[in-house]
Amino acid sequence: MSGIEGKVIAITGASSGIGEATAVLLAGRGATVVLGARRSDRLEALSGRIVDAGGAAAYRVTDVRRRDDVTNLVALAVEKYGKMDVLVSNAGVGPISALDELRVQDWEEMIDVNLKGFLYGIAAALPVFRRQEFGQFVNVISTSGLKIVPMQAVYGGTKNAVRTISEGLRQEAGPNLRVTTVSPGYIRTDFADSITSPTVRAQISDTAATIAIPPDAVARAIAFGIEQPSSVDVSEIAVRPTAQG
């Protein structure tokens, strides 16, 4: 047994990037993956790929800004497979910009997705984990919460809020639940697509094109946290390009 085989793992933001790579990797190591994201066509295609490769997958359209959607994703895992071992809270957006641009709608979007969506995951999964007396939260954060830089104040703020809550959750979790945070740096994803500031979008895209690493690097880190024995809690992992400052 790999420490992953046989586990039921729900993943938000699963239709592309880190979420997609994580789903493929975990399914390839014997997990049953329950996929949540907003794009139904991408979910259907990814689920089909996993099943065609001999894996097990289910999906439900999930907008983490809606608490009921997150609750229903967790319910799908439990109702279909009888348990849920891990919730990977990966959904996130990053419309970063200078504070002077006053892109308040973008600030609200980051709070709604990055922070409230993550909290909805706790609200949905924690009662399940308590009832089962086992479970693990894997929360995908960002190195933007580790190193505060211009243009990313609100984004880094939401990510640091997740980091703080994750640590509080870990301390409250007790001996049967685990909490792991994974902070990616520049990863080859569609992250820049959510940036509404043209200048910042160009800067991020240029840097990513030069140094970004593939999303399966983060997927392997997530798998590492999951595959440890139940008595081992890998609390924090940062994954960044060697060229990133």
- Active-site residue list: 155
DSSP 143: G
CA distances from 39 to 14, 16, 66, 105, 189 (A): 9, 9, 15, 22, 16
Instruction: Provide the residue type at 102 as one letter.
Output: L
Strand order in the sheet with 135-140: 56-61, 32-37, 8-12, 86-89, 135-140, 177-184, 236-239
Residues 6+ apart with CB under 8 A from 94: 110, 142, 144, 152, 155, 191, 194, 195
Q: What residues contact 242, with CB distance under 8 A and at least 6 apart?
A: none
Distance CA 74, CA 79 (A): 9
How many Cβ atoms are within 10 Å of 40's Cβ, its own excluded? Answer: 12
